């Protein structure tokens, strides 16, 4: 999600990163706990509105949404058939239950809503900004440290894997469904782990020689402004309306 071409000038970029990160986490928790379909649709509408305000590039956005919905598609292939309940339709020994369809629909709506919120509020920040915002929000220091290192070196590991893969192909390796392919891939993974470990030792020594004390320091200064408070208030009011809809729907059930 981070450090990829997913940035376009928008009003949301002027909001304090701490505010965006905290609101994204709070919104995700609220949306994940919803059980009423009306409230879930309102949450998806909120995510779509934030996404429209963020104005992300269309093709990267579609790729990310397609990746998420690909996993949801597998859920639709299993859950309606395996969830017990009132039979909606039946073909021989296979029966689709109302509860299974409703559960799949709930997961689909909530997943897309949460993804839209994070794409709108968080995806247009680079990983160092997110890490320092987490630190200012008093997240555990080890968690911030792990996030920053992961965001930095996942690309290094990906590049190393591509190098090993190219080297194998230059030596005539062609992936197939056979034992030789499995052994080769296992060897490549082993080489990747060994090289990653050796690189981690070199990186640790280099950082210690430069006086690293276990904490990344940033020259960026976050300042909350009235517009941040107004944005947070507006989003919290929207969440309150969604939660109220969930509560009212639960009363009528």
Q: What is the rounded distance in angstroms from the CA atom of residue 203 to the CA atom of residue 200?
A: 5
Backbone angles phi, psi at 96, to 5 degrees: -100, 125
What is the per-residue pLDDT for 4?
A: 52
Per-residue pLDDT of 5-35, as tens digits, reads 566 677 888 888 999 999 999 999 999 999 9
What is the per-residue pLDDT for 1?
A: 47
206, pLDDT greater than 80: yes
Element spanning 24, H or E = helix 17-32
pLDDT, average across residues 184-188:
90
| Token code pair at residue 187 | 């060897």
Q: What is the pTM of this model?
A: 0.81
What is the per-residue pLDDT for 252?
A: 43
- Point out which residues pair with 90 in neighbouring strands: 95
| Local structure of 91: helix, strand or coil | strand
Residues near 123 by beta carbon (within 8 Å), at least 6 away in sequence: 1, 2, 6, 56, 64
């Amino acid at each position: 999600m981070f450090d990829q071409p997913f940035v376009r000038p928008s009003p949301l970029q002027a909001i304090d990163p701490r505010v965006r990160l905290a609101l994204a986490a709070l919104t995700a928790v609220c949306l994940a706990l919803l059980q009423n379909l009306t409230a879930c649709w309102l949450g998806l509408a909120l995510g779509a509105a934030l996404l429209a305000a963020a104005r992300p590039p269309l093709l990267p956005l579609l790729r990310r949404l397609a990746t998420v919905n690909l996993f949801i598609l597998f859920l639709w292939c299993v859950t309606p058939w395996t969830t017990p309940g009132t039979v909606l339709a039946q073909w021989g020994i296979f029966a689709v239950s109302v509860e299974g369809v409703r559960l799949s629909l709930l997961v689909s709506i909530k997943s897309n809503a949460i993804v839209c919120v994070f794409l709108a509020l968080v995806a247009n920040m680079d990983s160092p900004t997110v890490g320092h915002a987490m630190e200012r929000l008093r997240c555990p220091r080890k968690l911030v440290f792990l996030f920053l290192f992961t965001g930095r070196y996942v690309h290094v590991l990906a590049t190393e894997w591509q190098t090993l893969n190219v080297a194998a192909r230059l030596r005539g390796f062609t992936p197939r469904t056979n034992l030789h392919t499995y052994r080769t891939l296992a060897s490549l993974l082993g080489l990747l782990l060994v090289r990653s470990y050796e690189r981690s030792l070199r990186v640790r020594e280099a950082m210690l020689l430069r006086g690293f004390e276990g904490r990344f320091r940033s020259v960026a200064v976050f300042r909350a402004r009235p517009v941040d408070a107004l944005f947070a208030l507006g989003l919290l009011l929207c969440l309150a309306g969604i939660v109220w809809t969930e509560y009212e729907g639960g009363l009528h059930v």
